[in-house]
Structure formats: structure tokens, C-alpha cells
């Protein structure tokens, strides 16, 4: 079977393991997403705030009355970055830029070699963080994946043709760590900084936590089951209170294949989308550990959260198996009222689950933190129709699985306890000023039509109320007792994305979605220190049909008190906007621009006939003021 070049990861999983349509589901619960329903309180104030923005007040005056501090950007389909009046952007780094002075500058003819890529910024950047270390600024960026049509655009079919091509692809994945500095010309990379580092699909990792050393993790080259090689498909990220970075392994499955095409795929592999064919990179042809007929336990060593210390380039990254194995989106870390470490995590696949980890030990800044993410309990969320919810503990008693198995086959453990199947949970973000949590549920075309890969039904209802959900929504929950450690919460929907101009009933979205801010497929989420919610999209950029008026993928800001949402940025053609972090003085916002031109229609940032190159841009007010 030939996998079409730029098929997305979720489409790939559908192709290799299609689910039958199930006709037994109820229709959409009438009124569950009514534009006058439970979001009405959110909207009334929001509409007033929006009007206030158009009164012509100066930026300074608006800052007093307007929590946004910028004018809304109009949707468009341009091949550039569009920002509010008074804001500018500059490129910080793009795919193929060398981190060291002995590296080769990006070559648009060859698009790099394995050797040049290993010394350069990876491709398709996603989650990122900026750390202060002494007087330095250290940036850590996930390089999630790569588009074959672009990275192999020098090959006739846009596919790897030799060993060097495959190794270039492996080196374009992983994590890039580099120092940046600011001078009168703006922000720039510090080449040759002692902190610069590339972590790729071949970097040695330590496997830690309850699954370390378990039989399912042992391989021919690592009979201890404690040392794996590499991390790939790192999507969103997280930061710990002790200053380390968390890289989250998402669609790890699409890199494995079998040299024996008749190999029988067992249920655990099916649940995680592992099959005899890969997503098109051909890694198994050059590196036998990706051949599941020869190394059947290798896929069990991927799909984790990886902890990296950006301040010490000699440290070995640690895979934290206690945080579970699934298609990790990001890892939002917060401290509970009882000083335990709580990590909220989404599993981005149709009908998979939302998770929470709670550490056994308590956090204190002056104590050793090396074991905090190794010992604790995983929970999966159940959302009830009455807008209450609970965290279901994934214990051996509740799941019938050992502690190690729960960490490796986490999806099955969550199915066993009856967690709620969700509309592809992407990033989770905790409000720094309130005890409340938000998660982007990006879309789910199978909602109300098919079961998930484990056979769990996906009826429309609760926080996933729309059948055949093409637009997505943002759910929020408030833990009981103002404590992220509580096992109970209440929930509502902050926004139901949609097109308010359509007359097709459930597609209009919630009342805080207007003709001026509409979007689809919310994905990246992060709060600024004012408590404003930044929303990034990864969706349909056709600007046609139901998506007409949404333009390219974009970034918006939500006021979680009033419900108002305002567009801040529009990205270039065919790009996803993903990953963001602020400079410590909040005068610069770093934003990721990923897989632009994935269908051949972008030349960003170079313009003309340039090769499109994913990258990080630095956004700042022209007057040197604060963002927002």
C-alpha cells in the first residue's frame, strides 16, 4: 500500500486500521451546544468588550479598559505573518539553520544532508520554552516531524532514496536547544554556545519509572529495558518547577514497519496504530530497530514524556514512563494544594482520553526532584452530563493490569475504567491566576459515528456534543476545593468553534464565536502571566465552504472572564501555528510556524521561489512595550 505523501498522522491511522461505522449512536443531544445554552453568561459581557475595542481609543488608553491591548486582525490567506497594528515580527530560526559555526548554511538545492542536519535546527517545530540560566536565554524547541515533499523536494518522488536521506530525516526530528541573545538588531541565535545541543532519533535516553526494566521494554540491543535510543514526533511540551523541559512523544507509531508484510498485528499494536507500513520515512530500511518483525518490543519504548535538562548538555534525557504511554500532546505541570506535582496531559487521537498524573512525593524547591516524575498515580477523566466530572485512578485493582503495564498500555487501562472518549485532546493549559484548566479538543469527524480503536463508543454528548465534529471546542474544568489534587471537578465549554454564518444547526458554534474571530481546530493553548488564554489553530485552511472566512491557521487570545476571543495573528499558507513562549520581560512573544507549504503553496519566509522552512518568529510591539 502506498501512503499518499502528505497524509496527516490521524488520516494515516485511519487508513491502516479503519473503524466500521456504527449506526447505534444517538443523534446530537438537542440543545447541548445551543448558542443560548451554558455559554450565554460568557457571551454577554464579551460582546460589549468587543464593541469597546472599535472606539478608536489609543493603545495606551485601551490598555486601561481593554484586557487585550491590541486590535483584532482580519482573517486572510496571504503567505506571510499578519499582526495587529503596532506589532512587528522577525525570523529567529528556521529549519536547517546551523547551531554551530562548523555547520553548513541551509542549501535549498540539496535541502541538506544527514551530516548538515545533525548540526542544524530540526524541521516542523512545535512546543517550545525559553529558560533563563544565569544571564543567558536558552531556547528549547521540539522538532515534531518533517514533510517529505519538502525535505526530500530534491528527489523526483519527494521520498528518501538512500541511506543519507533516511538519516537526514531522523536528524531533523527530536529537540533543538540553543542560546539566543537580544541586541539592537533584535533576537538572534548564539552559534557555538556551550548550551547548544541537538537531540535526535538516535540520542541515548534513560528509561525511568515503573516500566523501566519491564519485559515489554527489553530488546536485543538493550536487554535491560532501561536504555532506548532517540525521541521523535515531539509535539507539545511542558516545564517543571525545577527548570527542566518536557518533550512529549505523539505520533510515534508512524515510524515503525515490518519487513514481513504478513506479520500479524496484535491488539496492543492496533490500539496504538502500529502496523506493517510506516508513514513514508523508511527508517526501518536503514535502522533495523524500527522493523517490528525483528524487534517487536521497540515500539513499547516510544510514546512517553521525555525530561531534558537544558542547563547541562551532558545529561541523558529521561523517558518518564509514570506519565503513561500514548500520543502525548503536551504536559502542563502545576503544584497541588498539598504540594504534589500534577501533570495534565491529552492523548491526541479520536476518542482517546485526558489524563492527570499526581506525584506520590511533595515538591519543595530545596529538595531533590529527580524522582518526582517516577512515582505517582495516573488518572483518566470522566466527564458526566451534569457538568461534573471525576478523575478515575488507573490502579492495578481497577484495571487488572500491573503498574508497569498501566504505564505501557495506558490507553487500555483508561478504557478499562470507563473514561470519557474525547474529541482529540490537544494542549492543556492551567490559568496562573485561577484554579482552572483548559484543553483544546481539536476536532473528531468520527464523533457519533464510530468507536475508538479500543472499541469504546464515541456518542455525542458532554464536552464532545457535536456529531461529526469538524471545528473543535475548548473545554474547561475547575477542580473541587480549589485543588488540582482533588479527584472531582466541574466543567463547561469555554468555546465551541464553528461558522456563525452558516445555517447548518450545530455548526455555528457558541455565541462567543463571531464572523470576526471564527476559527477551526484549536490546538496550542497557553496562558500569559495576565491570565489571558492564547489559542493556536491547526485546521482546515481552505477558506472555502464551511471554513470560508477563517483563512489560514491563526492565533487568537481569549478573555476567560468575559469569554471574548480576539484574533492576534494569521500565519502563512498551509502552516499550522504551534508553540509559543515569552521573553522574561514579556516584550517578545516567540511563535512557531509549522509545515507551511505542505501542499506546495508557500515560500515563507524567503518569498519568491524559496523553499518553505518551518521556524520560530519573534513578535514584539513596535514601541518596545509589553505584549498584549
User: Residue 250 touches which of ligand FEO, Ca ion, none (CB < 5 to 8 A by kind)?
Assistant: ligand FEO
Q: Is residue 426 a contact residue for ligand FEO (CB under 6 A)?
A: yes
Phi, psi of 75 (to 5 degrees): -60, 145
Residues 103-142 touching ligand FEO, rule: CB under 6 A, are 126
DSSP state of 473: E
Q: d(Cα 93, Cα 81) in Å, to the nearest integer?
A: 15
Q: How far is the CB of 145 from Ca ion (least distance, A)?
A: 7
Supply 407's cell numbers: 504505564
User: Residue 13 touches which of Ca ion, ligand FEO, none (CB < 5 to 8 A by kind)?
Assistant: none
User: Residue 278 touches which of Ca ion, ligand FEO, none (CB < 5 to 8 A by kind)?
Assistant: none
Integer Rg of the chain from CA: 23
Across 51-111, the runs of DSSP E, i.e. the strands, are 87-94
Q: How far is the CB of 75 from Ca ion (least distance, A)?
A: 19
Count of other CB atoms within 10 angstroms of residue 576: 26
Closer CB to ligand FEO, 84 or 425, in the complex = 425
Alpha carbon of 438 to those of 208, 434, 442, 493: distances in Å?
Answer: 29, 11, 12, 9
Three-state DSSP state, 49: helix
Q: d(Cα 495, Cα 388) in Å, to the nearest integer?
A: 18
Q: Is residue 250 a contact residue for ligand FEO (CB under 6 A)?
A: yes
Among 71, 79, 144, 347, binds ligand FEO (CB under 6 A): 144
β-pairing, 328-335 vs 388-393, is: unpaired
Among 81, 151, 199, 235, binds ligand FEO (CB under 6 A): 235
Q: How many residues bind ligand FEO (CB under 6 A)?
A: 7
DSSP characters over 446-469: TTTTB--TTS----SBTTB--TTB
Closer CB to ligand FEO, 93 or 235, in the complex = 235
Q: How far is the CB of 144 from ligand FEO (least distance, A)?
A: 6
Q: d(Cα 564, Cα 195) in Å, to the nearest integer?
A: 41
User: Residue 574 touches which of Ca ion, ligand FEO, none (CB < 5 to 8 A by kind)?
Assistant: none
Closer CB to Ca ion, 173 or 369, in the complex = 173
Supply 401's cell numbers: 493490569
User: Residue 130 touches which of ligand FEO, Ca ion, none (CB < 5 to 8 A by kind)?
Assistant: none
Closer CB to ligand FEO, 226 or 251, in the complex = 251
Closer CB to ligand FEO, 169 or 376, in the complex = 169
Closer CB to Ca ion, 87 or 427, in the complex = 427
Q: How far is the CB of 348 from ligand FEO (least distance, A)?
A: 3
Q: d(Cα 389, Cα 488) in Å, to the nearest integer?
A: 6
β-pairing, 186-189 vs 204-208, is: unpaired
Q: d(Cα 125, Cα 112) in Å, to the nearest integer?
A: 17
Q: In the complex, which residue's CB is closest to Ca ion? A: 538
Q: How far is the CB of 429 from ligand FEO (least distance, A)?
A: 14
Closer CB to ligand FEO, 165 or 348, in the complex = 348
Q: How far is the CB of 526 from ligand FEO (least distance, A)?
A: 14
Among 329, 332, 405, 436, binds ligand FEO (CB under 6 A): 329
Closer CB to ligand FEO, 329 or 574, in the complex = 329
Q: How far is the CB of 584 from ligand FEO (least distance, A)?
A: 27
User: Residue 349 touches which of ligand FEO, Ca ion, none (CB < 5 to 8 A by kind)?
Assistant: none
Which residues lie below 8 Å from residue 240, measured CB to CB, with a gap of 6+?
246, 307, 333, 341, 369, 373
DSSP characters over 286-305: H-GGGBTTT-TTGGGG-SSE
DSSP state of 392: E
Binding positions for Ca ion, rule: CB under 5 A:
426, 523, 538
DSSP state of 323: G
In degrees to the nearest 10, what's the CA dihedral of 116, 118, 120, 124? 110
Tell me, residue by residue from 340 to 379, as one string, x for binding to ligand FEO by CB under 6 A and - for no binding.
--------x-------------------------------
Q: How far is the CB of 87 from Ca ion (least distance, A)?
A: 24
Bridge partners (DSSP) of residue 615 are 94, 593
Q: How far is the CB of 553 from ligand FEO (least distance, A)?
A: 12
Closer CB to Ca ion, 331 or 392, in the complex = 331
- Could you tell me how many residues make up the chain? 628
Helices and strands (H, E) in the chain, number of each type: 11, 28
Least Cα distance to 209 among 331, 402, 373 occurs for 373
Q: Is residue 423 a contact residue for ligand FEO (CB under 6 A)?
A: no
Q: How far is the CB of 578 from Ca ion (least distance, A)?
A: 5
User: Residue 123 touches which of Ca ion, ligand FEO, none (CB < 5 to 8 A by kind)?
Assistant: none
Q: How far is the CB of 426 from ligand FEO (least distance, A)?
A: 5
Closer CB to ligand FEO, 298 or 348, in the complex = 348
Which residues lie below 8 Å from residue 312, measured CB to CB, with a gap of 6+?
none
Q: How far is the CB of 537 from ligand FEO (least distance, A)?
A: 11
Q: How far is the CB of 425 from Ca ion (least distance, A)?
A: 10
Q: d(Cα 72, Cα 517) in Å, to the nearest integer?
A: 8
Closer CB to Ca ion, 349 or 538, in the complex = 538
Closer CB to Ca ion, 13 or 523, in the complex = 523
Supply 371's cell numbers: 524522582
DSSP state of 546: G
Across 514-588, the runs of DSSP E, i.e. the strands, are 522-527, 533-537, 554-558, 565-570, 576-582
Closer CB to ligand FEO, 66 or 126, in the complex = 126
The contact set with ligand FEO (CB under 6 A) reads: 126, 144, 235, 250, 329, 348, 426
Amino acid at each position: 500500500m502506498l501512503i499518499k505523501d502528505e497524509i496527516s498522522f490521524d488520516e494515516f491511522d485511519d487508513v491502516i486500521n479503519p473503524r466500521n461505522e456504527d449506526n447505534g449512536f444517538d443523534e446530537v443531544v438537542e440543545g447541548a451546544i445551543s448558542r443560548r445554552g451554558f455559554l450565554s453568561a460568557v457571551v454577554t459581557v464579551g460582546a460589549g468588550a468587543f464593541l469597546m475595542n472599535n472606539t478608536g481609543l489609543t493603545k495606551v488608553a485601551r490598555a486601561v479598559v481593554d484586557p487585550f491591548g491590541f486590535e483584532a486582525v482580519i482573517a486572510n490567506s496571504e503567505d506571510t505573518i499578519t499582526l495587529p497594528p503596532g506589532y512587528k515580527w522577525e525570523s529567529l530560526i528556521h529549519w536547517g539553520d546551523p547551531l554551530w559555526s562548523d555547520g553548513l548554511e541551509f542549501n535549498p538545492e540539496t535541502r541538506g544532508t544527514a551530516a548538515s542536519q545533525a548540526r542544524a535546527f530540526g524541521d516542523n517545530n512545535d512546543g517550545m520554552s525559553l529558560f533563563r540560566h544565569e544571564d543567558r536565554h536558552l531556547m528549547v524547541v521540539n522538532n515534531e516531524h518533517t514533510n517529505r515533499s519538502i525535505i526530500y523536494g530534491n528527489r523526483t518522488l519527494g521520498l528518501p532514496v538512500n541511506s543519507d536521506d533516511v538519516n537526514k530525516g531522523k536528524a531533523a526530528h527530536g529537540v533543538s536547544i540553543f542560546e539566543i541573545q537580544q541586541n539592537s538588531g533584535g533576537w538572534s541565535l548564539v552559534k557555538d554556545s556551550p548550551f547548544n545541543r541537538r537531540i535526535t532519533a538516535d540520542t541515548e535516553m534513560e528509561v525511568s519509572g515503573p516500566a523501566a526494566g519491564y519485559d515489554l521494554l527489553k530488546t536485543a540491543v538493550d536487554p535491560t529495558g532501561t536504555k532506548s535510543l532517540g525521541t521523535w514526533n515531539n509535539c507539545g511540551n511542558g516545564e517543571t518547577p525545577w527548570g527542566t523541559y518536557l518533550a512529549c512523544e505523539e505520533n510515534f507509531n508512524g515510524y515503525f514497519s515490518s519487513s514481513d508484510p504478513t506479520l500479524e498485528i496484535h491488539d496492543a499494536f492496533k490500539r496504538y496504530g502500529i502496523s506493517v507500513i510506516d508513514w513514508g520515512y523508511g527508517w526501518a530500511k536503514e535502522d533495523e530497530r524500527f522493523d517490528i518483525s525483528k524487534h517487536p518490543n521497540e515500539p513499547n519504548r516510544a510514546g512517553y514524556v521525555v525530561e531534558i535538562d537544558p542547563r547541562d548538555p551532558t545529561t541523558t534525557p529521561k523517558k518518564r514512563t509514570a506519565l503513561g504511554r500514548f500520543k502525548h500532546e503536551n504536559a502542563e505541570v502545576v503544584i497541588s494544594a498539598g504540594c504534589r506535582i500534577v501533570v495534565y496531559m491529552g492523548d491526541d487521537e479520536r476518542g482517546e482520553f485526558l489524563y492527570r498524573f499526581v506525584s506520590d512525593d511533595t515538591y519543595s524547591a530545596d529538595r531533590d526532584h529527580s524522582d518526582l516524575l517516577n512515582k505517582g498515580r495516573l488518572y483518566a477523566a470522566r466527564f458526566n452530563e451534569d457538568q461534573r466530572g471525576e478523575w478515575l485512578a488507573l490502579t492495578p485493582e481497577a484495571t487488572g493490569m500491573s503498574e508497569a503495564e498501566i504505564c505501557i498500555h495506558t490507553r487500555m487501562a483508561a478504557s478499562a475504567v470507563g473514561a470519557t472518549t474525547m474529541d482529540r485532546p490537544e494542549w492543556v493549559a492551567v490559568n496562573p491566576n485561577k484554579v482552572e484548566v483548559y484543553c483544546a479538543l481539536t476536532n473528531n469527524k468520527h464523533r457519533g459515528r464510530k468507536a475508538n480503536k479500543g472499541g469504546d463508543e464515541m456518542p455525542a454528548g458532554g464536552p464532545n456534543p457535536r456529531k461529526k465534529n469538524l471545528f473543535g471546542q475548548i473545554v474547561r474544568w475547575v477542580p473541587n476545593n480549589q485543588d488540582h489534587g482533588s479527584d472531582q471537578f466541574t466543567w463547561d465549554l469555554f468555546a465551541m468553534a464553528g461558522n456563525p454564518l452558516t445555517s447548518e444547526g450545530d455548526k455555528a458554534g457558541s455565541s462567543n464565536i463571531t464572523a470576526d474571530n471564527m476559527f477551526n481546530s484549536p490546538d496550542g493553548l497557553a496562558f500569559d502571566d495576565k491570565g489571558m488564554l492564547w489559542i493556536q489553530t491547526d485546521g482546515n485552511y481552505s477558506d472555502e465552504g464551511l471554513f470560508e472566512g477563517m483563512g489560514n491557521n491563526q492565533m487568537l487570545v481569549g478573555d476567560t472572564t468575559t469569554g471574548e476571543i480576539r484574533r492576534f495573528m494569521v500565519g502563512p499558507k498551509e502552516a499550522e501555528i504551534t508553540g509559543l513562549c515569552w521573553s522574561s520581560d514579556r516584550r517578545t512573544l516567540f511563535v512557531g510556524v509549522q509545515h507551511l507549504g505542505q501542499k506546495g503553496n508557500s515560500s515563507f519566509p524567503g518569498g519568491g521561489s524559496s523553499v518553505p522552512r518551518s521556524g520560530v518568529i519573534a513578535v514584539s510591539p513596535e514601541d518596545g512595550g509589553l505584549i498584549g
